[in-house]
Structure formats: C-alpha cells, structure tokens
Amino acid sequence: MSDMLRAPAEVKYAEELDWLESIDDGPKPFSWRLSPRMVRLFVLGSERSDGLEREIPQKWFGDRSFVERSIVTLASDRGLLLIGDPGTGKSWLAELLSAAICRNSTLVVQGTAGTTEDHIKYSWNVSMVIAKGQSRESMIPSPIMTAMEQGVVGRFEELTRSTSDVQDALISILSEKYVSIPELNDDNIVFAKPGFSIIATANSRDRGVNDLSSALKRRFNFVRIPVVTSKKSEAEIVRFRTVELLRRHRIELDVPPTLLDVLLQSFADLRTAAASASSDDERLESALSTAEQIGVLEDAILHSQFFGDRTLRPETLAGSLVGSLARRSPEDLAILNKFWHGVVEPRSKNDGDGPWKGFLEGGREAIAKLS
C-alpha cells in the first residue's frame, strides 16, 4: 500500500475486512463477502452493543437509514443511485459499499460528455482484430461488463454528465442483465452472474445537463444524500479526513480544536449568506461543501508543513480559505470581503486573544493580494 498514492478502500482496510469476514456468521446475498449487517457495521463503525472484540471505526458520516437502504437495494436486482450536492460523500459511500460487498471498488466508469457506449459495454483490441479477427480474446470488456462476468458491483460516477445514448445503454443492462455482442457468431452474449449490481452517483446540481429518462429512473432506487447540517457530524468528517491526510503524508502537526471551530463556523456563516442571497452574483461559486472544507484545511496544513514553522496558524487557514473559494474575480472576492468586514471583524473584537484576530488579518491580506 505504501507505493499507492491513494489505496482503494478494500486495500486500505484489508485487515479489518478480513477480520469481519472471519467472524461473520450472518446470511449473505449472492456471492457477497460480508452479510448486510457486517457491511453496515464496516461503513458506520461499531458500537458497544455490537459486542465485538475490537472497535471498527466509522468511515462514512451520515444517517444510518441511507446506508441501510443502499445495502437493501444492492441485495435486490435493482441499481442504486446516490444523488446529492457536490461534496456530500456519495462516491466515498459507493466505494465503501463495493469494498465491503465484493472486495473490489475499482470497476468504475467516469461519466463525462466524452463517455461512450463502449465505456460501459466493450471495445476491441485493434491489433489483435487485424491479426486474428474479432473474438472474445480480442474484446476489451468495460468495467461494467467485467462486474457482470464476475458477479460483483460496478460503479458509474456522475451519471448525469454522460449523454442520453450512454444512459440508454444502461437500461438493457439493468433490466435484461446481459450484453449482446453482435460482432461475434458464437459465445456472443455476456450474462450477469448473481451478485452483479451497479452503484451510480449524480450531483443534484447537474439537473438539466443530461436528465435521466423515466425508463432509466425506474431501474434505480434513489437514495438522496443531504448536505451535512450538523456541526458535530461535519467536525467528525473533517477530523477523520485530516487524520488520514496527516498519516498519508507522515506529518506530525496538531490541528487546534479552536481553529477547526473557526473553519466550521466560517463555512456555516457563508452558507447562511448564500441561502439569503437574491442572485447568483451574490453567492460564491463554491458549493461550500464539507469536501471543500477538507480541501481548505489540507491546503493550510501542507502550507504550514512546507513553508511555515510546522504549526497551523489562523492566518494560514484564512489564506487557504480565501484562495480556495475566490474562484471568480471580482464577484467572489467582493462576497468574501463583505464577509470579512461584516462577520469576521466583529468576531475578532469579541474573541480577545483567540484565533479570530489572526484569521481576520490573514483573510484581509489574502483578499488584498488577489484584488
């Protein structure tokens, strides 16, 4: 795992998954590696009432019912569509579910405007076709077809980013559970094995880009992942990701709880301002998601490690926040400048020697440099 920039969940948590599998005596659908109860436990973490010999850490932070509905859907023959705003953890949940169910989360198709039907069905090795003709040997199966052949979970990221013909190709796969290969005379149908399913994700902000047809919608169970509004839950997510970051980079640096509170409160205030804005010009282009908070904190930590004194300071955090969120000039800079004068400055006056004073100075300096 040390030679991977980012290990997939089944590699990262391999020892934990092995242990859960060794003690799992629950009924398993199809060829699942873990029972539904153990899948839920792997994703949401263990509790004392579970009576396990070791603690299983929580990896996805959200409502238990969303995870349970997702697991139940995957145990049926329907596809699962995780839909929500950017940064709500849809892809991470899909990866964790795939890792727990079949120990393979890497059979992924990324939906873009350039995604074609070949990406979800098959293509051909041109040199082999020229040399030997079209055959199963010269065929290159897509990640989805590979998932069908192995009876495991395939993933489709950003489904609504792909065009309608690509989406239509999914309909027959989800309903018929096979793919025809008309170029071949023999062995020209790939049937899905028991255990095959598809987890797709879609951003709710992409509505209108390539809307799903009613036929495709009927073949998915929708699980809507809401934006995290609980400050406690959001703090847990940010801490969890920060610990992973520090471990991956082998950085020994403390994140003061007071600075984490400043980050969480700033995002909460900016979301409130965005909700009350009357036009898009008065809103930041950023979605102000939890994922973007993590990005701001990661940027500040790495800056402190490489260009500072290895101490995370409020000035550095403020500079990272402004640098990350000021995407449009002058609109975003004007919004951030108003926020710093109307919200951060009063807080700094009431905070005494707390972090808000340094946060105020660092933000002002960053805004001035970008203006």
Residues 27-52 pLDDT 10s: 999 999 999 999 999 999 998 888 89
pLDDT exceeds cutoff 70 at 2: no
Q: Is pLDDT of 287 > 70?
A: yes
Determine the pLDDT at residue 360. Answer: 94
Q: Residue 99's pLDDT is what?
A: 97
- Quote the radius of gyration of the chain (alpha carbons, Å): 24
Task: Supply the pLDDT for residue 81.
Answer: 95
pLDDT class of 154 with cuts at 50, 70, 90 = very high
Q: What is the pLDDT of residue 263?
A: 93
Q: In the chain, count H helices and then E strands.
A: 16, 9
pLDDT of residue 71 exceeding 80: yes
pLDDT at residue 40 in the model: 96
In the prediction, which pLDDT does 157 show?
94
Q: What is the pLDDT of residue 12?
A: 93
User: Is 165 a residue whose pLDDT tops 70?
Assistant: yes
Peptide bond into 330 cis (omega under 30): yes
Query: With bands split at pLDDT 50, 70 and 90, how would you rate the model's confidence at 168?
Result: confident
Identify the H or E element spanning 224. strand 220-225
Q: What is the mean pLDDT of residues 267-291?
A: 86
Supply the mean pLDDT for the chain.
Answer: 89
> Residue 164: pLDDT above 70?
yes
The whole-angstrom separation of Cα 67 and Cα 70 is: 5
Which of 42-56, 82-96, 137-151, 326-340 tops mean pLDDT?
137-151
With tokens 């989805």, the residue in question is 144
Note the pLDDT of residue 207: 57
Q: What is the pLDDT of residue 251?
A: 77
pLDDT reading at 66 higher than 90: yes
pLDDT, tens only, 305-319: 888 888 889 999 999
Strand partners, 201: 82
Is the pLDDT at 70 greater than 80? The verdict is yes
Assign 75 to helix, strand or coil.
Answer: coil
pLDDT band with cut points at 50, 70 and 90 for residue 167: confident
Mean pLDDT on 335-346: 93
- CA angle centred on 124, ends 122 and 127, rounded to 5°: 165
Give residue-wise pLDDT tens across range 198-253. Answer: 999 998 766 545 678 888 888 899 999 887 777 788 888 888 877 777 777 777 77
CB atoms within 10 A of CB 293: 24
- Report which of 349, 354, 318 is spatially closest to residue 336, judged by C-alpha positions: 318
pLDDT of amino acid 1: 52
Higher pLDDT among residues 213 and 321, named by residue: 321
